[in-house]
Amino acid sequence: MSTAHRLTATGPSYADLAVHLRCHGPLPAADPAWIIEVVDRSGLTGRGGAAFPTGRKLRAVAGGSRRSGAPVVVANGCEGEPASSKDRTLLLKAPHLILDGIALAARAVGAQDMRLCVHEDQTDVIRTLRQALGERRAAGAPGADVEIVTVPDRYVASEESALVQLLNGGPALPLATPPRPFEKGVRGRPTLIDNVETLAHLALAVRHGADWFRSAGTPDAPGTALVTLGGAVAVPGVYEVELGLSGAELLAVAGGPVEPLRAVLCGGYFGAWLRSDRFAPARISARGLQNAGAAMGAGVFLALPATSCGLAETARVARYLAAQSAGQCGPCLNGLPALADALTGLAMRGDRKAATTIASLAPYVAGRGACRHPDGAVRLVTSALSEFGDDLRLHTSRGPCAGLRRAPILPVPAASSRVPERV
Ligand code: SF4
């Protein structure tokens, strides 16, 4: 069990409509109830981070249409995680699979209004999508009238409720929930918001059936997933893997570690660190990583070398996350910079009070925002303190370690420099 080629079956280049149809065949003329039934039985879960059962979401939106009018389908291709490239890769290589998924999801819930959201600075993705939509219009294929919507390039702008607010003519900022979008979303209609990879899987599950979908992965984590593997591995990149493989097998997909590892960041910047000895046997699935104390998130895995400083790496990301707060909620606005400051003090100066400060701040930040942004940041910071306990003791007893001299492993967009270090 290692790599798989379902979403990636058309190869590494852009698959135009003719290539796409040769590889995957035409869309079946399935009726709405059958689509929902197949997706339900397939066990497909969201691949954007929440891992919510896709069939259940379809059913909720379809049911809501009886009360609140025709639903809206929104495909989320924004990929807010700076270290993730899987949605972008899929949008560039296999946009027709995503458009198929949008068309089938719309048929399942009874929607005519279909949107595909991407970040405004992804001009190559937008160009590719326009080309794909043009091919569908010429062929009279379903999904030709999907509207491309551009979203500001901020971490929280692609959060579900922020997308709804943007599509309703407001700013792309998260809203306190409920109501959730599936109850009352775009123009007050029940709104299905799914990650683009999820919709691409949906297109294949409906074509080939639930048993086919479950023939990869494990019974409790069926199917494949796109993952972004980076850091100290031989061939960083985006790969499609069967869910349920071990952490060690996952790293081998990218050619294996190029030097001894200290830890692996699982799930991206909303995820958590796992020490390398705990990562190796962990199962790569939402439940498997949760059992190990981490998260699958958007499928990002970054390998940290043994000679790097996990505390300093996390402090840089914490500063980035603090800068990406929408600035609407006090615990997030004030709490995240304070957490980042404390971790920076520990990493850079061996501040002995930092761990206590973080432990006392965390409960007042996590779960206190309108969205889950602060929860993810707290999880990342607290996982650093528990997984890098040896480093913590070293920093507070002897000062910063030699790992500070290494080039950073975790990518942090330059925009985070807007928030200066507050020490
Ligand atoms: S929790 Fe933070 S990111 Fe989320 S809405 Fe409030 S201020 Fe914005």
Whether the Cβ atoms of residue 52 and residue 46 lie closer than 8 Å to each other: yes
At CA 393, angle to CA 390 and CA 398, rounded to 5?
A: 120
Q: How far is the CA of 332 from the centre of ligand 1 (A)?
A: 6
The fold of the 310-418 domain, in CATH, is: de novo design (two linked rop proteins) (1.20.1440)
Percent of the chain whose predicted confidence (pLDDT) is above 90: 79
16-25, 122-131, 326-335, 374-383: least confident range? 326-335
**CA-CA distances (angstroms) from residue 2 to 168, 210, 237, 247, 342?**
42, 21, 15, 11, 40
Nearest to 381 by CA among 297, 299, 319: 319
**Residue 260 pLDDT more than 70?**
yes
pLDDT at 127: 98
pLDDT-based confidence at 110, cuts 50/70/90?
Answer: very high
Residue with tokens 């402090």: 315
Look at residue 294 in the predicted model and tell me its pLDDT. 96
Ligand 1 proximity of 162 Cβ (cutoff 6 Å): no
At residue 359, does pLDDT exceed 70? yes
pLDDT digits (tens, 9 = 90+) for 194-205: 999 999 999 999
Q: State in Å: Cα 68 to ligand 1 middle.
A: 28
Residue 131 backbone dihedrals phi, psi, to 5 degrees: -65, -45
- Ligand 1, pocket-test mutation among 173, 270, 332, 372, most atoms within 8 A of CB: 332
Query: Averaged over 69-93, what is the pLDDT?
Result: 94
373: confidence class by pLDDT, cuts 50, 70, 90? confident
Alpha-carbon distance 15 to 92, whole Å? 9
The hierarchical CATH code for the domain 219-305 is: 3.10.20.600
Q: How many whole angstroms from 337 Cα to the centroid of ligand 1?
A: 13
Nearest to 12 by CA among 101, 98, 124, 89: 89
Task: Provide the terminal-to-terminal Cα distance of the chain, rounded to the nearest Å.
Answer: 48
Ligand 1 centroid, distance to 378 Cα (angstroms):
13
Q: Which residues contact 316 (CB under 8 A, 6 or more apart)?
A: 408, 410, 412
- 232 CA to middle of ligand 1, Å? 32
**Could you tell me which CATH class the domain 17-215 is placed in?**
alpha beta
Confirm whether 17-215 and 310-418 share one CATH topology. Answer: no
- Looking at residue 195, its amino acid is N
Q: Are 325 and 289 in contact (CB under 8 A)?
A: no
- Ligand 1 contact, 285 CB (< 6 A): no
Is the CB of residue 174 below 6 angstroms from any atom belonging to ligand 1? Answer: yes
Q: Is 327 a pocket residue for ligand 1 (Cβ < 6 Å)?
A: yes
- Measured in residues, the chain has a length of 423
Q: Are 234 and 123 in contact (CB under 8 A)?
A: no
Domain ranges, ordered by start, for the chain:
17-215, 219-305, 310-418
Q: How confident is the model at residue 340 (pLDDT cuts 50, 70, 90)?
A: very high
Alpha carbons 155 and 80: distance in angstroms, whole number: 5
- Give the model's pLDDT for residue 405: 87
Contact 292, 278 (CB under 8 A): yes
Pocket test for ligand 1, best of 325, 334, 365, 419 (most atoms within 8 A of CB): 325
Shortest CA distance to 318 belongs to which of 423, 393, 247, 173?
423
